[in-house]
Each structure stands twice: as structure tokens, then as C-alpha cells.
Amino acid sequence: MALLDHALGAVWAALFFIGSTVLLPAVVAAQSNAVLEVGKFSAVKVGADLPDGWKPLTFPKVPVHTTYAFVKDGDTVVVKATSKESASGLTKVVRIDPKEYPIVRWRWKVDNILKASDVRTKQGDDYPARLYITFKYDPDKVSFVKKAKYRVGKLIFGDIPIAAINYIWDATAPQGLFIENAYTDFAQMVVVESGAHGVGMWKDEERNIYEDYKKAFNGEPLLINGVAIMSDTDNTKESAVAYYGDIIFLKAK
């Protein structure tokens, strides 16, 4: 019973952060060119609906949702996220081979950091900006314990991802830190930006998702099956405003 309770708790925590991507009906196949434009937000009109393939990411136990809108920042259209004691995101199903397209690039900007944000604790598990990427499940390449968690979760919730990398903007954790999510080992956190340095400025980010996965999970990744952005403040009961630019994947050089 203790093992079952632990598995259920871990599966639910994983679903809270990464599970809703499985609800999306469309799958985006990898293109044959050098760049995959997963989030071409700059091509969307101000005030428009979500671009093709992107859907809201909400959670049953979080009643207040972060709002997302397409706005102009200078000459470029971006996604503006406004979070007030809330949590929700935008997500898209994809099908990308991380060996073929290992580089992910994106832009983001935050108007403020969260005073109580702390990647090391459940209470501080909020971020003004995050990008997370989920991976396909292969039962032959996971431990017995993870396999048990997955089976329980699948029985209750249907297909769920078993691995995700969260690129985050934390308040105090050192930049470059890799750490297990405070709720579940299904998700690994990577601190890309930390503290107030850079607040109010656009930051261009680039990560090798293939190498990051190997470091985070000590194994080879399968296909990437989901990409999402999220600004959340429901645990810390604070507020945040963030902006997200285009998201692309590139072939290895």
C-alpha cells in the first residue's frame, strides 16, 4: 500500500507539471529542414487566438489560470503571460528526434522574480517563466520503480509522459543547477536564469536538450513529444509577468 500511495503521488505530481500534453489531438512531425519552428509566435497577429497546434495547459486542482495574450514588444509579437496566484500554460504536441535536432533556442523576459521561488522546495516550486520539454516513454529503458509508477498512472489517467526537462528562471538557485523536481523524479529542473539580474531585459537562451537529458536522467532520450511554456505563482501566492518569444529546434552542427 505504501508503494502504491507513493506511486500515485509521484504520478499525480508528474501529471501536474507535464501530463496535460497528452490531451492534445494533433502531432507535429519533424520537418526535413535544418530548423523546426515549434513556436512561431512572432508570426501571430496581436490579440489573435493560439497558433496551430498550441493549446491551453490547465490543471484540475488549480482553479485560477495564468492568462496568455499576443502583444507587441517593440516591432515583434510575443506571448505575454500574467500570473496572479495562478498556474496554467500553453503546450504543443511535437515529434522531434533530439539526436537529429538537439539544440533548442528561445527568448524570454520577466518583469519580476518571485521572492519565495525556490526550486529546492515544494512551497517554492513557482517560476515567472519556464520552458519544459517532455519525452516518449519506453518501458524497456526505465527502472522497475518508475515502470510501476507509470503503470499505475496509465491505468488511472491514460498515456502519460515519464520524463520532462524544465528550463526555469529561479529566484536564488545557482545558474546551471540540475535538480530533481521537488514533487517528482519524473521531472528534472535546469536553472537557466537566476535572481533579478536581467529582469526587464530579453534573454536569448540556447540549450543542447540531448546532452541535458543524458545529464538529468543518466540515459539516452527517446523522441521529444511535447513542448510547453508556463508562468505559475499558485504555490507562492505571488504575481508575475513574463514574455515568451519564438521557440525553435536546430540540427546538430
What pLDDT digit, counting tens, does each position of 231-242 carry?
999 999 999 999
Residue 19: the pLDDT is: 35
Q: How far apart are CA 89 and CA 71, in angstroms?
A: 17
Classify domain 2-250 at the CATH topology level.
Answer: Jelly Rolls (2.60.120)
Query: What is the band of 208 on the pLDDT scale with cuts at 50, 70, 90?
Result: very high
**Full-model pTM:** 0.83
Record the cell numbers describing residue 226, joined without a space. Answer: 511535447
Say which residue the cell 516518449 belongs to: 136
Query: What are the sequence ranges of the domains in the chain?
Result: 2-250
Closest Cα to residue 79, out of 117, 111, 47, 102?
Answer: 47
